[in-house]
Amino acid sequence: MDRAKISEEVQRFGRSLLLPIAVMAPVGMILGIVNALTQAYLVSKVPLLGNPAIKLFLTSVKDSMSIIFSNIPILFAMGVAYGVSRKEKGISVFSSVISYIVLLAGSNVYLKITGTLIKEKELMDKAGQAMVLGIQTVRMDVFGGIISGLIAAKLTDRFYKTELPVAFAFFSGKKLVPILSIFVTSVASFIATPLWMYFTKVLAGMSVILLHPLGPFVNIIMVRLLIPFGLHHTWSALLRFTEAGGVYQIAGKTYVGVLPAANEIIFNLGPNSPEWQMMPKLTRFLAQNQMIDTLFMFPGIAFAMYKTAYKKNKPLVKGILITMVLTAFLGNITEPLEFSFLFISPVLYLMYILIGAASSLALAFMGTAVGYIRGTIFDFIIFGVMYENSKFYNIIIVGVVAMFVSYFTFKWYILKRNLITPGREEEVSDSKLLVEKRYKEIAKIVVEALGGKENIVNVENCISRLRIDLKDKNIINRERLKESGTLGIFFPSKNHIHIVFGPHVEFVRNEVDELL
């Protein structure tokens, strides 16, 4: 497999992690609201919240939503299977659940055979073992779900069309995939279990660096450097769900990674519990850092671009920049604005990274305790303003400083280097296709500009970009592609193009699929 193919596969895997995260984000917001409304200090201010019927309703919602966080590995198994498989995604997802159950059972058998199964419940946590779906197993957590998803995806793509001899014809094709998943996972469990036991030691070694006081600075640099390659989700998952993010003892239970630990404290124990003092250690790797970017730095950067734009272009570029800022402010989709200067000037992007990294470090030292996994205004209100002891005001203090630093730094460098940032082009596209949601026309332009149907091998999308494999990138008409209203075009690997459409991307993708 060549480097381009490996790069594409890694990016595909990284994209697959988005689906479970996309489910966790709104569920987390609902839980955040419910828990905020049941806090004692808020009930004392709003007596209506103490009404038994309302209290019962809020508790019921909490119990219903909490089950999602109790089964995160299964979410990842299904998400990875769906995202990585190219064909028959439904059977891939079905097989991933079977594979995950078999993985748990296989790990249990391994522990019994090797005599390492811990019988005393109070010692299971220390040995890295746990009861999952009624099976005592090594705690692979999200890693176990990822293994199962990958097995199911690869078996689906390889065997969904396989024909068996007539005597076994009933088990041919798609029915063969879950059957093979059982056998393959049974073998894989005997490899994955000891491998994971060793790998946890390696991740624990990483945590020494990442959990250092300078860890937030390193984390932001890594996340931002990986964004152009679409691999930032993989890095974030490492911190959120593995030993690289630390192992935490909370109320007598062990939690691996910053997110499960934060979930327990936010959604179960609350801001008035003694364990809340752990929150700044956890949230320094969560959404509070992103809020600095989306709520403060982005308006500063966009305003700098507007002020440096040519006068004739300002009316048009103002609308574009406002859209980019609101997309991040409300939806945490940052790529449209980031890509507007990343490829024009890597130095500007480096400045952006360093300002964000320094801000995250300041929040950590100030003891800020604002979750969750997205950086929108809604997360700020729910997990910051509505939660006692979150010190949400630190985000405003640091954010305002970061906003002014971003504005003056960007304005100075754009003028100094005469950079062609939005609004400084001699000619600016006045495409209104995205604004008017004319997705059919956009799709037609995209397919045509990429060399027609015969030049397109595969089409995928993430939160903000179309990701398309091509036969020959040399026949692309870039000028025609810009007429689609795209916010950015780049090639992360040979014959693989990313076309940025922001929050409209899924609708554009649907129309492209229809054309193909």
Provide the pLDDT for residue 139: 81
Residues 23 and 122 in one domain: yes
Residue 333 lies in a domain: yes
Structure token digits, residue 34: 């419910």
Structure token digits, residue 421: 């940032």
Residue 186 lies in a domain: yes
Per DSSP bridges, beta strands 135-138 and 129-132 are: antiparallel
Measure the CA–CA gap between 1 and 198, rounded to whole angstroms: 27
CA atoms within 13 A on the CB side of 47: 0
Which residue range(s) make up the domain with 51? 3-208
Residues 321 and 419 in one domain: yes
Q: From first to last of its 516 residues, what are the pLDDT tens digits of the chain?
A: 566 666 667 667 777 776 787 777 677 778 778 877 877 767 777 888 888 888 888 888 888 887 887 788 898 899 999 988 988 899 999 999 999 999 999 999 999 999 888 887 766 766 678 888 889 998 887 888 989 999 999 999 999 998 888 888 888 888 999 999 999 999 999 999 998 888 777 777 777 778 888 889 999 998 888 877 666 777 888 888 888 888 898 988 888 889 899 999 988 888 888 999 999 999 999 999 999 999 999 999 999 999 998 888 788 788 878 888 887 888 787 877 887 788 678 899 999 999 999 999 999 999 999 988 888 898 899 899 988 889 999 999 999 999 999 999 999 999 998 887 877 765 555 567 777 788 898 999 999 998 998 999 888 876 667 888 888 888 888 888 888 888 777 776 777 888 877 667 788 889 988 888
Measure the CA–CA gap between 462 and 15, rounded to whole angstroms: 6
* Residue 496 β-bridge partners: 469, 493
Measure the CA–CA gap between 180 and 161, rounded to whole angstroms: 13
Closest residue by Cα to residue 338 from 506, 500, 507, 508: 500
Residues 218 and 195 in one domain: no
Listed residues 389, 408, 428: the one ending a domain:
428
Provide the pLDDT for residue 7: 64
Residue 119 lies in a domain: yes
Residues 187 and 307 in one domain: no
Q: Identify the three-state secondary structure at position 489.
A: strand
Identify the helix (H) or strand (E) that includes residue 78. Answer: helix 72-84
Residues 367 and 467 in one domain: no
Listed residues 367, 401, 428: the one ending a domain:
428
Residues 220 and 253 in one domain: yes
Measure the CA–CA gap between 215 and 383, rounded to whole angstroms: 22
Provide the pLDDT for residue 299: 96
Residues 298 and 393 in one domain: yes
Residues 35 and 128 in one domain: yes
Burial 47-81 (b: 16+ CB within 10 A, else e): eebeeeeeeeebeeebeebeebbeebbbbbbbbbb
Measure the CA–CA gap between 446 and 514, rounded to whole angstroms: 13
CA 472-476-480 angle, 5° bins: 165
Measure the CA–CA gap between 323 and 340, rounded to whole angstroms: 13
When divided into structural domains, the chain yields a total of 3
Residues 156 and 224 in one domain: no
Residue 80 lies in a domain: yes
Provide the pLDDT for residue 113: 93
Residues 418 and 448 in one domain: no
Provide the pLDDT for residue 167: 84
Residue 433 lies in a domain: no
494: domain CATH number is: 3.30.1360.60
Residue 434 lies in a domain: no
Listed residues 428, 451, 485: the one ending a domain:
428
Structure token digits, residue 267: 């959604």
Residue 444 near residue 515, CB atoms below 8 Å: yes
Residues 75 and 123 in one domain: yes
- pTM of this prediction? 0.68
Residues 367 and 486 in one domain: no
Provide the pLDDT for residue 296: 97
Residue 487 lies in a domain: yes
DSSP 488: E
Residue 178 lies in a domain: yes
Measure the CA–CA gap between 395 and 401, rounded to whole angstroms: 10
Measure the CA–CA gap between 498 and 461, rounded to whole angstroms: 9
Closest residue by Cα to residue 34 from 274, 284, 270: 270
